[in-house]
Amino acid sequence: DKFSLPSGHTTAAFLMASLLAHFYPEVTSLVYLWASIVGLSRVLLGVHYPSDIVAGALLGLTIAFMSINILA
């Protein structure tokens, strides 16, 4: 069996999107759309499974949430 890890690109994209959405709420839709496209591209390129993208997105969102709360 192949062991699969969360997508680092997707993690970084959702982390950045979350931070931008927090500080600049007017770009929320755009940055989350961008992060979703990054994740989709990883699947379409065949380098990740959809579950890797979901895990990466959740990881990025979690890190952003924790960072915002720690620094607040």
Considering the candidates 9, 31, 53, 64, report the single residue annotated as catalytic.
9
Nearest to 57 by CA among 22, 27, 13: 13
For residue 53, how many other CB atoms are within 10 A of its CB? 24
Considering the candidates 48, 55, 57, 64, report the single residue annotated as catalytic.
48
- 22 Cβ neighbours under 8 A, 6+ residues apart: 64, 68
The answer to whether 48 is a known catalytic residue is yes
The answer to whether 22 is a known catalytic residue is no
Catalytically annotated residues: 9, 48
